[in-house]
A and B are shown apart, each in its own frame.
Chain A
Amino acid sequence: MSVNEAPLYRAPLWLRFKGQLAGYGFLSPWLIGLFALTLGPAVSSLYLSMTDYSLMSSPRWVGADNYVRIASDDPRFRAAMNVTFTYVLLSVPLKLIFALAIAVLLNKGLKGLNWFRAIFYLPSLIGGSVAIAVLWRQVFASDGIINQVLMAVFNYEGPSWIANPNTAIYTLVALAVWQFGSSMIIFLAGLRQIPTDMYEAASIDGASRARQFFKITLPLLTPVIFFNAVILTIDAFKAFTPAFVISDGSGGPIDSTLFYTLYLYQEAFTNFRFGYASALAWVLVAIIAGFTALAFLSAKYWVHYDD
């Protein structure tokens, strides 16, 4: 008699569910959170996105009007997209490069590695805070540290980086790149996974350090790079605090730091267009989903899984 034979008896559904009841019980804190705090509001925001809803009055159904306006007739939406894409396309690659470079350095078996790791990670812990954004405003002010250094070293009178519409966004990119710590920790963990015998074999074959990096480290690290890139991209699209604090919620000067989320926030809370703001939120969801999908589709061409 074969052991693979199908079982003669299958428990009825309720009995099988009963067996899993304990499991659902343990999951319940998360399930309640998901349904009450995430899915519920998400569904109602989807509904609100098709209404005209200004605070006190009850929502008025307008169908796709909000989405049509976003697509065809909203210069500030385009300004916000411009700012946000600039921010994402600059901050994500720069942050990845920094995180990887520092991780590779730290992986050389430095003395006091734990200390360095903690120090480099520190900005990620505190970087999202309001205090740091305020500090950043000082650093890049017309008489801030950056300009004092420029003056002392190059005798160059720098602009007021934060007040100038041409440079304000780059101070926010710099603030983001400075917080490379969490990606760095993940890269470090990834580097530890690469078997050392590969490097031994390569160096016996006469491969240079650079060649080892590009032929061994980088390919074997691609799953980690992929992971970090996706997470960082999503985070960058959702960035809010730094722009809010540095421009005092205005997105200024002249909308040059009008992040998408900041625009959404303004539409809801200063202009009382909750319906329109909900539509903006769903457009952001679609954009992030699109980018993530692209990343996963592209993954099979450049991410090497070791299996």
Chain B
Amino acid sequence: MLDRRTFIRNGLALGAASATASLSGLPAWAQDTDMRLFWFGSPARAERTLAVAELFERANPGVTILGEVGGNDYWSKLTTMLAGGNAPDIFQLVPSRYADYAGRGAMLPLDEYLGSVIRTDRMMPDVMKLGRVNGITSGVPLSINAFALLYDTVAFESAGLTPPDRNTTWDDFAALCIEMTKAIDKPNVWAIGNAARYSYALEAFLVQRGKRLYGEDGRIGFDATDATDWYGYWDSLAKSGGCVSAEVQALDKIQIDSNPLSTGHAVMAIAFSNMLVGYQALQQNSIGLTVLPVAERGGPSGLFYKAGQQFGVASTAEDPELAARFLDFFLNDIEAGKALGLERGVPINLDVRAAVKPRLNEVEARSYDYIDSIADISGDYPPQVPVGAAELEERVYRTIADQLAFGQITPAEAGQSLVDQANAILG
């Protein structure tokens, strides 16, 4: 006998069963899955990143990628979410802060996926080293780039000066800057920003001397003499009018749009090769790209390939394999690579690189060619930046250089102070 209540109960059971049946037989990720992806950067980057997310969604029905873009508050937001246990599944990192997150267990080890889910056969040799901390792969590099000297080609033409090349020493460069500033002959415009503040410029300077910014042991790879030489160089360049005043430099937040080159206070900048696109977007004059000055002619260039940025998978990610599959897609899929272009730097997959090359516009091609052109003078990948480096970035390098620029301390005091503070923080 069938009463109303039984009928309803059976009906419900039947419905549930058929719903289950329709799902079984499909891979696990085919259930509606959301995956959160968090990065920072320009609107152009957002557009390209979301295009990749869309391609991935199309290849994986049922998966939805929720993109979130951070601004100036990116790091505090990320930290808050990690501490609160609601971290995005995949998030973007930069080499200078990478170990601060990886070394504290924020990211899931990816070693088991490397070579299988995340294919590495077509990648640059050893490039995955750029995602390793203490021997564990905590994330993957998204691209490579290198230090470069950016210059306003029109300024050099009208001054009748030759841009630096592989044979330009730091001393030649100082003379060039002084001459350039004189040639420009405008109030509040100099040849270049005061690069004493930039840890990456110091890093190139140190590599040329056979030292490192950070050693394999997680401590600094230089001594007070090296640092004093560095600060002394910029101090005397500032005093002889070759680089910007303290007040101009203090406003640089170490971003493309706040660099003196972009604010119209300088005609050169020490930056990363992939930033050419960003710098060029803010300039009418064509921006050229060349190597950094060297310690001595024929000596080490101080250049090496660095990770542009990295992606890490949160240790709390619900579906690590899906996240790993996304990383693989992001790095190895040709169409994804075409969507990304050079915005984050040069692709690490050689096939993707070849596919991207013919599609580059003239500005991107300059950045790409630069990376190619330094292949013969690039050194080894650097040791991983240690835990605590973020704090040095955040408050030590800039503060010491500003104290020096405002005349509060001497180069020797600055050098000693950098070594002392770095030792205190890195232990």
Residues of chain A having any CB pair with chain B under 8 Å: 54-57, 141-142, 159-160, 162-165, 248-255, 265-266, 268-272, 274
Contacts and interface: CB of A to CB of B under 8 A. Distances in A.
Nearest to A164: B247
Contacts of B250: 160, 163-165, 252-253
A142 B408 contact: no
Contacts of B406: 164-165, 253-254
Contacts of B80: 269
Interface in B381-395: 390-391, 394-395
Contacts of B76: 265, 269-270
B203 interface: no
Contacts of B248: 142, 160, 163
A56 B395 contact: no
Interface in B70-106: 72, 75-76, 79-80, 82-83, 100, 104-106
A270 B390 contact: yes
**From DSSP, what is the main secondary structure of chain A's interface residues?**
loop
Interface of B: 72, 75-76, 79-80, 82-83, 100, 104-106, 188, 246-248, 250-251, 253, 315, 390-391, 394-395, 398-399, 402-403, 406, 408
A115 B67 CA distance: 46
A131 to B, nearest CB: 14
Nearest to B105: A56
Given A55-B83, A248-B253, A255 B247 contact: no
Contact of B402 (A55, A159, A165, A272): A165
A254 to B, nearest CB: 5
Contacts of B399: 252, 254-255
B81 to A, nearest CB: 11
A269 B253 CA distance: 18
B390 A163 contact: no
Contact of B403 (A248, A254, A270): A254
Contacts of A141: 251
Contacts of A165: 250, 402, 406
Contacts of A265: 76
Given A160-B247, A164-B250, A272 B79 contact: yes
A266 B75 CA distance: 11
A163 B100 contact: no
A160 B248 CA distance: 8
5 contacts: A56-B105, A248-B72, A266-B395, A271-B390, A271-B394
A163 B188 CA distance: 14
Contacts of A164: 247, 250, 406
Nearest to A245: B72
A160 B104 contact: no
Contacts of A253: 250, 402, 406
A159 B250 CA distance: 12
A249 B390 CA distance: 14
A55 B247 contact: no
A249 B188 CA distance: 26
Contacts of A160: 247-248, 250-251
A54 B103 CA distance: 11
A249 B105 CA distance: 26
A159 B105 CA distance: 46
A159 B104 CA distance: 43
Given A163-B247, A254-B408, 5 more contacts: A55-B106, A142-B248, A160-B248, A249-B72, A270-B390
B290 to A, nearest CB: 29
A292 to B, nearest CB: 29
A39 to B, nearest CB: 19
A271 B106 contact: no
A80 B248 CA distance: 24
10 cross-chain pairs, A with B, having the tightest CB-CB distances, nearest first: A269-B76, A160-B247, A163-B250, A253-B250, A163-B247, A56-B105, A56-B104, A271-B391, A270-B394, A254-B402
Nearest to B408: A254
* Max chain B Cβ within 10 angstroms of own Cβ: one of A55, A159, A251, A265: A55
B105 A252 contact: no
Contact of B82 (A55, A251, A268): A55
B104 A250 contact: no
B408 A269 contact: no
Contacts of B247: 142, 159-160, 163-164
A71 B408 CA distance: 26
B75 A163 contact: no
